[in-house]
Structure formats: structure tokens, C-alpha cells
């Protein structure tokens, strides 16, 4: 309660940001099919409302940690899509100079502490970032994004317990997309409502419709405010769904086509916000189209930028490894 906004400007920004994620991911999949993306690709399509609704409450000074499905978090936090695409293409202009790929994009300038190929790998980083903020009394907040699979790993438990007992300014955000890679959630835990686990840690838990950016925005606002006031962490569960496979090329034999089309047809978060804005008279159909087109241009520019950038030279092999370069 008491969460103001979002303002019209914020709503339009969120709408554009969700399109930015969607179109970036669609383009990344297309380019991967063309053989241009080096390494694995995990897209955020369907989950856009989570990253966008939460990061709307954060500034560049606040921290987030991400997952293997990290593009949406990067874009929500304000990372540059050109350097992201270049990283996917393995080019020297990418965030990791083309040496990291999709699962290692980080942008410290906007508080994005990194995607992470290790399931549950972000917990320690976010909790540590929260501790640093508490020690420095900086008022910063750290948000830890993780999936339902990560809930069953040790770092989830250890870090939320520690964050709770030290009242750290961290928001633990479970993007419950119901599948840990190919495994349905109910096969690997008896407690499918992750938010209810908060009672085991003595912190508040909240569950929201992760396909509805306004619900996410509201719940995230309360959790972020609470963290900023020094009242400790919240476990926020966003029920969501990834419209595409675990990774690009996943045959998805573990779920039905009907289930997928039901979610993408009935619960598309971008369409949901677009319809809402048009109903409220904030946006006309033409304006919506124009936002989408402008983002599409931006993504096309990112692909051009990546295409035109060189690959890292052999001299990059030994750079960024030791503080004193190897002779």
C-alpha cells in the first residue's frame, strides 16, 4: 500500500522496455538461427513484466543480480542493447569484449552485477551487495532475481536466512516460470507457492501475477521501500511463464503446445499493458505501434552495430585475467 505511481511517463517507459526485451530476444533467436550468436541462448520472452516492473523502482546506484536468463534484467536495468548484442555475437565491442557471451553480461555502471550461468549463483552476490550498502549506509537496495529451480539449492536458503537475520536491504525475487529447465516445479518440491516459504525465514512473502506489470510494480514498490527503510528483505514471488523453450532449440517435450499457447495467448504481459493503456486513454493504437517500431529500429541498430564490430584479437586472450598482464 501507499506505492505511488506509476506515472504516465513511467507507464510508457515500461511499455517500451518490455518491447525492447521482446524484440531483442526475438532478434537474438533469429540471429542464433543464422549462426551468429556464439554459445547458448535463454530468452526472457513472456517474463518481461517481472524485470521491468521491479527495476522501475531502482536507480543506477541500486544493484541487481541475474540468472542464465539475464537479457531482460539487463535491459530493465538500463544496459545498452548494442553492447549486449555485440556480446552475444562474440564481438570486442560487447560488454565482456566478446569473451563472456549471453550468460555473463554485466554492466556495473547501471548496477547490473551480472548474469550468472550457475543456478542460484546470484544469491551470494546480491546478499553481499546488500551488506555493503548496509555497512556504508548508502541507502542502496539489491535485488536478487532467480528461478523456481534455484529455490531448491543451498544458496537460496543460506542467503535468505542471513539476509533476514541481518535485515539487509535485499529483495529476493523468484521468477516462478514453473519449469526448472525441463522439470516441472511440482516434481521437485512440495511447496509450489514459493512466497509461503518466507515464514521459514521470518520475513514477509508476497505473491503476484508476474504477467501483470502493474501488480509487479505495486508489490515491488513495497518490497523495495521496506528494504530502503532498513526493515530487511522480502521474498517476492512472481508467477510467470516463459513462452519459448529453456534455451533456443529446446524441443519442449515436457509441456503441451496448448499450455504454451494458452499462456502466450491469454497472458501476454505486453499486450496486457498495451490494452490497459489504451483503455485508460493513455495510448492510442497508433502510438503503441509507433513505440514498437521505434524499439524495432533500435534493435536493428544493435544488430548492425554487432555485425560491424570486429572479433577480439588474440591479444585479448590474456587480458582481464590477472591484474598484472602476463608477459
Partner 1 sequence: MLGTMYSILSPGGNVQSGARIPSLALDQQLHLYRLMCLNRRVDDQMIRLQRQGRLGFYVGSQGEEAAIIGSAFALEPRDWVVPCYRELGAALVKGFPLIDLFSQFFGNSRDLTKGRQMPNHYANHDLRVTSISSPVGSQIPHAIGLALGARLAGNDDVALVYFGDGATSQGDFHVATNFAGVFKTPTILFCRNNQWAISVPVESQTASRNMAVKATAYGIEGVRVDGNDIFAVYDVTSKAVAKARRGEGPTLIEAVTYRRGGHSTSDDPNSYRDDAEVEPWIERDPILRFRLYLTRQGHWDDDKEQALEDEVRATIRNSLDEAFRSGPPSLDTVFEDVYDEMPWHLREQMESVCTPEEFQTVEQGT
Q: Which of 59, 138, 199, 284 binds partner 1 (CB under 8 A)?
A: 199
**Interface with partner 1 (CB under 8 A), residue from 5, 39, 202, 249:** 202
Task: Say whether residue 203 binds partner 1 (CB under 8 A).
Answer: yes
The footprint of partner 1 on residues 211-250 (CB under 8 A) is 232
Stretch that binds partner 1, among 67-75, 164-172, 251-259, 281-289 (CB under 8 A): 164-172
Q: Are 125 and 114 in contact (CB under 8 A)?
A: yes
For 89, residues 6+ apart whose C-beta sits below 8 A from its C-beta are 31, 36, 37, 38, 98, 306, 307, 309
Q: 82-85 long-range contacts, Cβ below 8 Å, gap at least 24? A: 82/301, 82/302, 82/305, 82/306, 83/107, 84/24, 84/302, 85/24, 85/27, 85/28, 85/31, 85/299, 85/302, 85/303, 85/305, 85/306
Please say which residue, 152 or 296, places its beta carbon nearer to partner 1.
Answer: 152
Query: Segment contacting partner 1 (CB under 8 A): 42-50, 182-190, 213-221, 258-266?
Result: 182-190
Residue nearer to partner 1 on the CB measure, 197 or 270: 197
Nearest CA-CA partner of 65 in 109, 25, 124: 124
Q: How far is the CB of 165 from partner 1 (least distance, A)?
A: 5
Q: Contact between 200 and partner 1 (CB under 8 A)?
A: yes
DSSP-derived pairing of the beta strands 179-180 and 183-184: antiparallel
Between 13 and 158, name the residue whose CB sits nearer to partner 1: 158
Binding test (CB under 8 A) with partner 1, winner from 164, 223, 302, 306: 164
Q: Is 183 in the site for partner 1 (CB under 8 A)?
A: no
Per CB under 8 A, the list member of 155, 221, 245, 312 interacting with partner 1 is 155
Contact between 9 and partner 1 (CB under 8 A)? no
Residue 12 sits at φ, ψ, to 5 deg, of: -70, -35
Among 188, 297, 304, 320, the residue binding partner 1 under the rule CB under 8 A is 188
Longest Cα separation, the chain: 64
CB of 43 to partner 1, least distance (A): 28
Q: How far is CA 138 from CA 71, 128, 286, 308, in A?
A: 27, 14, 43, 41
Interface residues with partner 1 (CB under 8 A)? 152-158, 161-162, 164-165, 167, 187-191, 196-197, 199-203, 232
Amino acid at each position: 500500500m501507499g506505492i505511488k505511481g506509476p506515472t504516465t511517463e513511467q507507464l510508457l517507459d515500461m511499455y517500451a522496455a518490455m518491447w525492447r526485451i521482446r524484440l531483442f530476444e526475438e532478434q537474438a533467436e533469429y540471429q542464433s538461427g543464422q549462426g551468429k550468436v556464439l554459445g547458448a541462448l535463454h530468452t526472457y520472452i513472456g517474463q518481461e513484466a517481472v524485470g521491468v516492473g521491479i527495476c522501475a523502482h531502482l536507480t543506477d546506484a541500486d544493484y541487481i543480480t541475474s540468472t542464465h536468463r539475464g537479457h531482460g534484467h539487463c535491459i530493465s536495468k538500463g544496459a545498452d542493447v548494442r553492447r549486449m548484442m555485440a556480446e552475444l555475437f562474440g564481438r570486442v565491442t560487447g560488454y565482456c569484449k566478446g569473451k563472456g557471451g549471453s550468460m555473463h553480461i554485466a554492466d556495473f555502471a547501471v548496477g547490473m552485477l551480472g548474469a550468472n550461468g550457475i543456478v542460484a549463483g546470484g544469491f551470494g552476490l546480491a546478499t553481499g551487495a546488500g551488506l555493503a550498502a548496509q555497512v556504508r549506509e548508502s541507502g542502496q537496495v539489491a535485488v536478487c532475481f532467480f528461478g523456481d529451480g534455484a529455490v531448491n539449492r543451498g544458496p537460496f536458503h543460506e542467503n535468505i536466512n542471513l539476509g533476514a537475520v541481518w535485515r539487509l536491504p535485499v529483495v529476493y525475487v523468484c521468477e516462478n516460470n514453473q519449469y526448472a529447465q525441463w522439470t516441472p516445479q511440482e516434481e521437485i518440491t512440495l511447496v509450489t507457492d514459493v512466497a509461503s516459504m518466507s515464514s521459514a525465514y521470518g520475513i514477509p512473502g508476497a505473491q503476484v501475477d508476474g504477467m501483470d506489470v502493474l501488480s509487479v510494480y505495486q508489490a515491488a514498490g513495497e518490497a523495495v521501500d521496506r528494504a530502503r527503510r532498513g526493515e530487511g528483505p522480502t521474498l517476492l514471488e512472481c508467477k510467470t511463464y516463459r513462452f519459448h523453450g529453456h534455451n533456443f532449440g529446446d524441443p519442449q517435450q515436457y509441456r503441451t503446445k496448448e499450455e504454451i499457447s494458452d499462456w502466450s495467448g491469454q497472458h501476454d504481459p505486453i499486450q496486457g499493458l498495451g490494452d490497459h493503456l489504451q483503455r485508460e486513454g493513455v495510448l492510442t493504437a497508433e502510438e503503441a505501434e509507433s513505440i514498437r517500431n521505434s524499439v524495432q529500429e533500435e534493435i536493428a541498430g544493435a544488430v548492425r552495430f554487432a555485425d560491424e564490430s570486429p572479433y577480439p584479437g588474440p591479444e585479448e586472450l590474456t587480458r582481464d585475467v590477472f591484474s598484472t598482464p602476463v608477459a
